[in-house]
Amino acid sequence: MSTTAKELQQTVASLIAPGKGILAADESGGTIEKRFSAVNVASTQESRRDYRELLFSTPGLNEFISGVILYDETIKQQNTTGVPLPDLLKAQGMLAGIKVDSGTVPLAGFPEEKMTEGLDGLAKRLTEYKQLGARFAKWRAVLTIANGIPTHGGIANNAYALARYAAICQDIGLVPIVEPEVLMDGDHTIETCAAVTEQVLNVVFHALNKQRVVLEYMILKPNMVVPGVQCTVQASPQQIADATLRCLRRTVPGAVPGITFLSGGQTDAAATENLNAMNVLGIKNPLPWQVSFSYGRALQSSAIKSWHGEASNKEAAQQALYLRARLNSAAVRGQYSAEMEAL
């Protein structure tokens, strides 16, 4: 086994450690500004640094979190005592990752669909990020369900970009997190979401194969199969778990070591409850992959509300993050219950 392969294997093993998940703290400047605005905090370089330092230094967080996805600004920042934030994570027993896509633009020829950019110069950027301490990366493709979309062309173009990104990551020694997200926006049914998600994952894995991506050295970050937020018929955690696992069993090769779900706009409790329902089913009928979480808002929302930009609220915010991480860790083991929310 080559040195790079050993490195990738070790990173994957750390990221999918039993009972652990990934914290997504890779919000873009615009997104973090919205989150801060909701709690009346100005988004400045210093406030963003303070908030993320608070998250990363939460005592005991590594019991439940294996890695943290950073943003370009964050991976280059130091904490208040001059320690680079990736080193802070390492000292806490967590791996640093990095969001490397450049966001979405209208897809030429398919104006109602989005295309994720960022392949230009990616190898050079990944090399720099690795030198800064990154061990894994993330690229997000966005697919919307509406009249006539997503089209095969829209899916295929995004799948190609995901696959090229993943191949470049592995060449450099970074584990790629492949994130094809079918959005919850809309009034579509859970059956429609299942059909579209299945189509998307089939095309994505075909593209990964064509680009010679080693499946054992990647992690999939998909959406759960859920009804659109405006659908008049919503689904129970059991129905979501059934539909999601059926879709994944049909599309995701067993060689993929881990699936870490995005929360996609679900409430904190719903994201945890749905993940738990899947792992309960997995106990009865074992799954070929580790099924865990890679949540952003569903891990952070209670923490940012507790923080409110005040240094005096640091401990309360950290306790809120620790609680949500602990609850999701329980869900990874199929041991979560709604009563735990009040503890």
221 a catalytic residue: yes
pLDDT class of 199 with cuts at 50, 70, 90: very high
The average pLDDT across 118-125 equals 98
pTM over 0.85: yes
* Domains present along the chain, CATH in parentheses: 3-332 (3.20.20.70)
Contact 40, 86 (CB under 8 A): no
315 a catalytic residue: no
Q: Which residue has the tokens 């994130």?
A: 179
Give the closest residue to 183 by CA, choosing from 126, 224, 236.
224
Check pLDDT > 70 for residue 259: yes
- Predicted local distance difference test score (pLDDT) of residue 19: 97
Write the pLDDT tens digit of every residue in 80-116: 999 999 999 999 999 999 999 999 999 999 999 999 9
Rounded Cα distance between 165 and 186, Å, is 29
- Predicted local distance difference test score (pLDDT) of residue 302: 96
Write the pLDDT tens digit of every residue in 14-40: 999 999 999 999 999 999 999 999 999
Contact 201, 259 (CB under 8 A): no
Neighbours of 331 (CB within 10 A): 27
- Predicted local distance difference test score (pLDDT) of residue 341: 85
Check pLDDT > 90 for residue 119: yes
pLDDT class of 342 with cuts at 50, 70, 90: confident
Give the closest residue to 338 by CA, choosing from 279, 286, 247, 272.
272
Instruction: Report which secondary-structure segment, H or E, holds 107.
Output: strand 104-107
Q: Could you tell me the end-to-end alpha-carbon distance of the chain, in angstroms, rounded to an integer?
A: 47
Contact 254, 323 (CB under 8 A): no
Rounded Cα distance between 166 and 155, Å, is 16
Judged on CB neighbours under 10 Å (0-12, 13-18, 19+), 316 is: middle
C-alpha separations of 275 from 23, 59, 240, 265 in Å:
15, 24, 9, 14
Report, in angstroms and rounded to the nearest whole number, the Rg of the chain calculated over CA atoms.
Answer: 19
Write out the two tokens for 226.
């859920």
- Predicted local distance difference test score (pLDDT) of residue 1: 75
- Predicted local distance difference test score (pLDDT) of residue 9: 97
The average pLDDT across 232-247 equals 98
Among candidate residues 27, 130, 221, 273, the one labeled active-site is: 221
Tell me the DSSP string of 15-37: HT-TT-EEEE----HHHHHHHHH
Q: Which residues neighbour 305 within 8 Å (Cβ) at sequence distance 6 or greater?
A: 39, 320
To the nearest whole percent, how much of the chain has pLDDT over 70?
Answer: 100
Among candidate residues 53, 179, 198, 273, the one labeled active-site is: 179
What does pLDDT average to over the chain? 97
The average pLDDT across 240-268 equals 97
Contact 144, 185 (CB under 8 A): yes
Phi, psi torsion values for 333, nearest 5 degrees: -95, 0
Phi, psi torsion values for 127, nearest 5 degrees: -60, -40
Rounded Cα distance between 327 and 315, Å, is 18
Judged on CB neighbours under 10 Å (0-12, 13-18, 19+), 313 is: middle
Write the pLDDT tens digit of every residue in 157-190: 999 999 999 999 999 999 999 999 999 999 999 9
The b-or-e profile of 251-279 (16+ CB within 10 A means b, else e) is bbeeebbbbbbbbbebebebbbbbbbbbb
| Cα dihedral 163/253/14/4 (nearest 10) | -50
Check pLDDT > 70 for residue 286: yes
Check pLDDT > 70 for residue 343: no
pLDDT class of 150 with cuts at 50, 70, 90: very high
Check pLDDT > 70 for residue 293: yes
